[in-house]
Structure 1
Amino acid sequence: MMERVILFAIIMAFLITVLFSPILIPFLRRLKFGQSIREEGPKSHQKKTGTPTMGGILIVLSVIITTIVMTWKYSQPGAETYMLLLVLIGYGLIGFLDDFIKIALKRNLGLTSKQKLIGQIAVAILFYYVLKLNGFSTAISIPLTDFSLDLGWLYAIFIIFWLVGFSNAANLTDGLDGLLSGTAAIAFGAFAILAWSQAQYDVAVFAVAVVGAVLGFLVFNAYPAKVFMGDTGSLALGGAIAAIAILTKFEIILLLIGGVFVLETLSVILQVASFKTTGKRIFKMSPIHHHYELSGWSEWRVVVTFWTVGLLCSILGIYIEVWL
């Protein structure tokens, strides 16, 4: 029964995005919701100016519809389902506001960093509150050991850091055609396997719904992209994968499975720190995917390489948690 639900969930989410993207893309183009490319970015990206963005709306809607329909198919949705949808929708709305202000209101920076951070923290606090109400553990398991550390109320700080951190990490990763779509599909697929291994079927259904949605989106987002997901999609995906890691108690292994997101974030941190302290840059440009572009790699080569790294990290993460 559950095997069929999982299979139908990924197919349903995939079909929703594949079938409705050809409707959404021209609609976004008519609204002139086109991507504005930063002048300080790689010069080769200027040709992407005007490509429809905010396609993440369809990813979020696809996951919501698929998750609700498929969880009701075998039972009533549990607390995990509602908590995951809370984060997906919450961070998706923050990203939507950011995109809308940048594109429709023509304010290049969108929400200010402070406004965005306040929204991200508010959603994380609400997630923690619901988690506590439902009696979820506040302990963190240490991979490769039987040791776990109960953080008590400090777990709230950890949740804020994890949700805000990974939502922004996914946002940084979304810089090349298909890069985030592919790496997200791999990472969510890995967590679907981990959730299944724990019989957390609500979480597994949500995870495969995301896999199906982003793979369907990838059909139109792969190089050369016909649509971008925008902050609407990237913030939602980053927050959602952090929430899955928390609910499955695989918080720390997310650093490995989400290794590409971590690498992208570290490259920005190191670049800024190096420039401020020494006046020199470590990379030709950060996030690190731009460094490889400026080193002569084609965009497609960078994307496929990062997908491969993400796949290897995910396989290793599953191996550590399931078979070791």
Structure 2
Amino acid sequence: MPSSLLAFIISLVIVLLIMPMVIKFAVKTDAMDAPDKRKVHCHPVPRLGGLGIYIGFLMTVLILSFTTDIAAEHGMDLAGLLIGGTFIVVVGIIDDYKNLPAKVKLIGQIAAACILVSFDVRIDFVTNPFGDWIFLEYLSVPATVFWIVGLTNTVNLIDGLDGLAAGVSTIASITLLLVGYQQGDAFIVFITASLVGSSLGFLKYNFNPARIFMGDTGSMFLGFILAGVSIIGVVKSATTIALIVPILALGLPILDTTFAIIRRYRSGVPIFKPDKGHLHHRLLDLGFTQRQAVLLMYVFSSFLGLSAIALTQVSEYAGVIIVLFILLVIIYGARKIGIFHPKNNIHT
């Protein structure tokens, strides 16, 4: 049996088995998400589900690392992902209990990114569509930290409906898995297969009506691992569209975060100020149910993922046309549902 398929099965089974225990632990230790004006649930829900995702992923990777040659060939990358991922999980657990200030949480995210960078996981160059590579040199570390922290937060911010962040992360993981398979990168396929299994196992308990939320523990962990995987894999690929692939794979949370920044800036409020103008809020305002809104966002995320895979199979000119078409669709759709409208800045 291929190690990637085995990784998927093991991580899926582990999470399915341990999640009931995580739910009981969260309830017993009062790790509960209380409803408020911005949230759509009406009663307290446990919010430590990310711990189950992390345990399933970690156990799978450790088990198979000792039984295959993965650790020997990719020891530094693997150590960086696991140690940095563990650090971000600790930050998430503290936040799920104590509601850390945004600045403190940001410092924790930067620290986790620096851990990954210290294991030589970094963006050394980007490809120039009009010529050769652009080596970042002294900008390599800050660019890598910005990338990791940015993607960590995009997944964190989209976690607003039952099953949304877990499902979108699963789709993004599958996209990176398929691109890694196309490139013959067994390590990326293995890591993403483990992530897919863990996310799907959690989704059984998180899809509407959710029995548990992933909390910042899960959303930051998923964003961190996806950011790291994209650097180790496709971003370092010497192809013109290398940087575009992970951006499209995680296109939905990236777009939601970008729209939020634009919307809040235009309204003259701090960009970290919460509002009810996120994509999922707008879909609910338009009359969609939670399930309908989540499924619609799954479809759009899948469309972006398929577009990312398509970019690896077409010429540069065709790739530019695909990207421009996607941008036009996004801008039109965003304006149509009023995503930039100032009235969506309803603060708490």
Q: With structure 2 as the length reference, what TM-score do the two structures score? A: 0.81
Distance 1:258 1:267, change over 3 A: same
Change (3 A) 1:89 1:146: farther
Give the structure 1 partner of residue 86 of structure 2. 89
Q: Which residue of 2 aligns with 1:164?
A: 149
1:16 equivalent to 2:17? Answer no
SS class of match (1:253) = helix
Tell which deviates more after alignment, 18-27 or 205-214.
18-27
Q: CA deviation at 1:316?
A: 0.9
Distance change in 2, residues 1:137/1:155 (3 Å): closer
Task: State the match for 1:286 in structure 2.
Answer: 277
- 1:84-116 deviation line (CA, Å, top 9, x unaligned): 223322222221111121xxxxxxxx1112211
| Residue equivalent to 1:67 | 61
Kindly state the Cα deviation for residue 146 of structure 1 after the two structures are TM-superposed. Answer: 6.6
CA 1:159–1:137 in structure 2 vs 1: closer, same or farther (change >3 Å)? closer
Could you tell me how far 1:216 is from its partner in structure 2?
0.4
State how far apart, in whole Å, the 2-side matches of 1:90 and 1:252 are: 28
- Secondary structure, in 3 states, of the residue corresponding to 2:33? coil
**Does residue 190 in structure 1 map to residue 175 in structure 2?**
yes
Taking the aligned partners of 1:322 and 1:122, their CA distance within structure 2 comes to: 37
Q: Which residue of 2 aligns with 1:228?
A: 213
Residues 199 and 139 (structure 1), Cα distance of their counterparts in 2 relative to 1, 3 Å cut: same
Root-mean-square deviation (CA, aligned residues, Å) is 2.0
Once the two structures are TM-superposed, the CA of residue 130 in structure 1 deviates from its matched residue by 1.5
Secondary structure at 1:87 match in 2: helix
Which structure is higher in RCO with an 8 Å CA cutoff and minimum separation 6? 1
**Secondary structure in structure 2 of the residue aligned to 1:140:** strand
2:158 is matched with which residue?
173
- The match for 2:51 is 57
2-structure distance, mates of 1:146, 1:197: 24
Give the secondary-structure state (helix, strand or coil) at the position aligned to 1:276. Answer: coil
Matched with 1:5 is: 3
CA deviation profile, 1:45-93 (whole Å, cap 9, x unmatched): 241x311111100101111111121233221512222222233222222
Q: Deviations over 1:122-152 (max 9, x none)?
A: 22122222217xxx7611235x777421101
**1:149 is matched with which residue?**
134
> Residues 182-221 of structure 1: matches in 2 within 5 Å?
182-221=167-206
Indicate the larger mover: 200-209 or 173-182.
200-209
Structure 1 unaligned spans of 5+: 102-109, 278-283
Q: 1:322 offset after TM fit, Å?
A: 4.3
Q: How many percent identity over aligned positions?
A: 26
Correspondence for 1:139: 125
Give unmatched runs, 5+ long, in structure 2: 236-241, 270-274, 316-348
Alignment-derived partner of residue 301 in structure 2: 310
* Alpha-carbon distance in structure 2 between the residues aligned to 1:72 and 1:196: 22
SS in 1 for 2:134: strand
Q: Distance in 2 between matches of 1:152 and 1:180?
A: 34
Distance 2:261 2:41 in 1: 25
Letter paired with 2:159: D
Name the SS of the counterpart of 2:194 in structure 1.
helix
